[in-house]
Amino acid sequence: MKLSQRLAIGLFLAFTLCPMSTITYAENSIFSKIDSNQKQWVGKPAPNFKLQDQNAKWHELSQYKGKWVVLYFYPKDDSPGCTQEANQFKSLYPQFIKNNAVVLGVSLDDVQSHQKFSEKLGLNFPILADENHQLAEQFGIVRNLGIVKIAKRETFLIDPQGIVTYHYSSVNTQTHAEQVLADIQKIK
């Protein structure tokens, strides 16, 4: 096997088996810039969507009219940071419900991947499969890492009338769910 082939295989395995290090590096460099697609959403109606969750149930933004919607995008099922963030939302989900809010996780992974991830963590909220990248592209947060596309770790807080109230472009997976919950409680 040629050196270039070994290098290509090694890089493929590194990106496949070590998504957290790749994503962490990427978020600290090329992903830290907010483009005009992202800034445009605060104060405007959120785009409607129709996506399936981990149980193949369809969800549309319009079905949540009258509730706060936490639409949190994450890069990859079962990666360390995404697991931590999902567990934070899971533990606080009853508090979100008490505050008239629904949490919807979204990544570019498929329904089957979401089903495994959800079962492993015992998630109590929907995670939506944006396999065609349509919703993530509308929000301007699809990132191409060469061999794979991911959604950047960002959250959009949508008010009960469907208006984007907050855009969290810098997310700490350990404290983000608490921050979003506190913001809902503050402005509600």
CB-CB contact of 135 with 47 (8 Å): yes
Helices 3-17 and 19-27: crossing angle in degrees, nearest 10, is 80
Measured CA to CA, the distance from residue 151 to residue 129 in angstroms comes to: 11
Q: Where does the chain show beta strands of DSSP type E? A: 50-52, 58-60, 68-73, 101-107, 127-129, 142-144, 149-151, 154-158, 164-168
List the beta bridge partners of residue 10. Answer: none
Measured CA to CA, the distance from residue 142 to residue 30 in angstroms comes to: 12
The stretches of 99-156 forming alpha helices (DSSP H) are 111-121, 134-139
33: which residues sit within 8 A by CB, 6+ positions away? none
Q: ∠ at Cα 34 (37, 46), nearest 5°?
A: 40
Choosing from 82, 102, 141, 151, which is the catalytic residue? 82
Whether 18 sits among the annotated catalytic residues: the reply is: no
**Residues marked as catalytic:** 82
